[in-house]
Chains A and B, each alone.
Chain A
């Protein structure tokens, strides 16, 4: 199977996943969504009628008015296609088409910082912040992890190796969000260095907003790095230990090449494919975890948006955010596949 064919197959699977996730989401929230839409239609029509004084005065009895309103609501519901259940093919198809073209509609309760209730605006405002936090964290974590992992691998069973492995196992058993609570306790209460809430208090339009945002980012960033780099170092160490036992490294050693050069040039290069894969996967994993992490720190990104949307059941936002989160998740998995093929020629030639 050629690499291109392999990638094509993966891409189709990814698209299938995206569709399946959306279908599940629409199916789960669909019936609620209909009820909410119907309510809002009824409310809208009542308002229109009450605002129209001449229309009201043309009715003789309240019963007539009521009948008129009911008919109007019925007509509108039929016009919007709400009379059919959400699972009919037309409505499902329309819903999926709208989502695919990034038309998520308007949010019911939530708004963006600038006041827009268009779901697309809200997401476009929150998404960069999530990317900012999590890519920075992943970059720092992977750098630290590769460095520490290489040191540990070059001195197997030394003190530093054992400390790294121990730290990795212990740090990965604590939930990130719990470490977040502890960090807030330590650095916002005991030593008040950082703000407890990561949302800047000044408006977005203020020129100092970006620096304030970066300052507020410090605590979540430190937490993500602290909880992440241990297991990273452990992974890198394990990959490297495997590579370092291979024959070509032995040959290089006997040829008298500097041990450091062997480690950082040759061994690391050979351990790159799995490392890069895990890097991409951990990025996607941290995006999934963003919901809780951002909720803890009150970081104004996609995760918190999702959490808020869930708590007030703002369905258009939930669907939009699920779409974007899933898409990012899948893109990073796909990227991992591509990178793996790029770094490991065996996959390409298979």
Chain B
């Protein structure tokens, strides 16, 4: 029953399925690190705050879908200024330039210029466009509210504004009736007919200011589209790539903590009962039977509703129902080991019970313990996902299950929003599979009877 770690590793490494498992977990760990590095913790905290996702499109498909479509769907772009410069003289002029190569087959749904200005007096903001055909037009000009002291002002310019359409019509002559054409369609339209004119568009924002101490901040140009990013967005405009990426460390945390907790507790409990035997064993095993036969999910739901649904509490609840099976097996293993001569000998030598348990029995069970840890990870992840799916997850930590809960609430399946439901489920399954593979391979090493 004993193995040297080297032998185990050798056998383990020769198993293809174990290597696949290790590979997947390595990828998941990389994703977790990427999540920590690339996505600031605030974004993740703001997951459930709708106001922080306003710049994003609603239920947008992933952007890569365009590779498979003959008609390219406009991508939702959040542009940062490409150049930004400030001229000062009598009148200081701040210019931000946004450039986009528009190669899509339909018009953007809208466009918005968002900015924050710090100024004195009453500066003038002007938005203008230069089209691929060389024509250019002022789209909108507005002055900021008069102020005698230094103030900051946040605002947006919308393409739906009435003045924008008038400005374009005055400047550019279209050869088709423009009465019912919205302004964003005019800006991106061919002159002869109302079709997209593909090419490079340059949007320029100029702020004229007399007082001379103007700063333009958080200036961005949002071109509304129907595809976004690598994973698309959901009904609440959230970038699903952020949710999926952040779900990875959470799932690993939940799965691994719960399985280590359950295995350690179950192991110690089972070994103690098996080692002590007699009445202690009887009482402990009856208690084990009771927990074993309890319906876990209804109780987990009641616990989450009444006590609380913080992620740490849920991990604790999952451990409460997770240790029983392991305790049963390790008890029977301990009963075998305790009849071995060296255990009897150390007993005769007068060693204390807990020392025998920790020094002589538990180390023998370690290979089994590692296999059980790997095998119980998937159940922990799916159970947490199930609780989250019912809406009982910790809102401060958006897990994959919670993404699926929102998807279900907004009827994503019936409405065909596949990019909202497929990735979280696949991630849950892949993570579970990786641990199943590893556990399976370890089980074959630990239980020679399984080898055939």
Q: A residues within 8 Å of B by Cβ?
A: 13-14, 16-17, 20-21, 24-25, 28-29, 32, 169-170, 173-175, 177-179, 181-182, 184-185, 188-190, 196, 284, 287-289, 291-292, 295-296, 306-307, 310-311, 313, 318, 321-322, 325-326, 329-330, 333
Shortest C-beta distance, B181 to chain A (Å), equals 33
B425 touches A20 (CB 8 A): no
Note all chain B residues with C-beta closer than 8 A to A307. 390
The distance in angstroms between the C-alpha atoms of A322 and B418, with both chains bound, is: 34
Q: Could you show 12 A-B contacts with beta carbons less than 8 Å apart?
A: A13-B290, A17-B290, A17-B294, A173-B432, A181-B404, A182-B422, A184-B414, A189-B415, A196-B411, A287-B295, A307-B390, A313-B305
Interface residue B378 (Cβ < 8 Å from any Cβ of A): yes
The distance in angstroms between the C-alpha atoms of A170 and B429, with both chains bound, is: 8
Note all chain A residues with C-beta closer than 8 A to B293. 13-14, 17, 329-330, 333
Interface residue B407 (Cβ < 8 Å from any Cβ of A): yes
Shortest C-beta distance, B87 to chain A (Å), equals 55
Q: B residues within 8 Å of A by Cβ?
A: 286, 289-290, 293-299, 301-303, 305-307, 378, 382, 385-386, 389-391, 404, 407-408, 411-416, 418, 421-422, 424-425, 428-429, 432-433, 436, 440
Shortest C-beta distance, A285 to chain B (Å), equals 9
Known: A178-B425, A181-B412. A329 touches B433 (CB 8 A): no
The distance in angstroms between the C-alpha atoms of A330 and B298, with both chains bound, is: 14
A170 touches B433 (CB 8 A): yes
B422 touches A177 (CB 8 A): no
Shortest C-beta distance, A294 to chain B (Å), equals 11
A311 touches B414 (CB 8 A): no
**Using a Cβ cutoff of 8 Å, how many contacts connect chains A and B?**
133
The distance in angstroms between the C-alpha atoms of A178 and B431, with both chains bound, is: 15
Shortest C-beta distance, A288 to chain B (Å), equals 5
Name the residue of chain A whose CB is nearest to the CB of B304.
A310
Name the residue of chain B whose CB is nearest to the CB of A178.
B425
Residue from B385, B408, B415, B424 having most chain A Cβ neighbours under 10 A: B408
B413 touches A189 (CB 8 A): yes
Shortest C-beta distance, B425 to chain A (Å), equals 4
Shortest C-beta distance, A317 to chain B (Å), equals 12
Note all chain A residues with C-beta closer than 8 A to B305. 310, 313
Note all chain A residues with C-beta closer than 8 A to B385. 175, 178
A174 touches B295 (CB 8 A): no
Known: A169-B436, A173-B432. A329 touches B413 (CB 8 A): no
Instruction: Select A185's contact among B295, B302, B421, beta carbons within 8 Å.
Output: B421
Note all chain A residues with C-beta closer than 8 A to B421. 178, 181-182, 185
B418 touches A318 (CB 8 A): no
Name the residue of chain B whose CB is nearest to the CB of A322.
B298
Note all chain A residues with C-beta closer than 8 A to B407. 181
Instruction: Select A28's contact among B286, B306, B413, B440, beta carbons within 8 Å.
Output: B306
The distance in angstroms between the C-alpha atoms of A169 and B303, with both chains bound, is: 31
B306 touches A32 (CB 8 A): yes
Name the residue of chain A whose CB is nearest to the CB of B428.
A175
Shortest C-beta distance, B318 to chain A (Å), equals 14
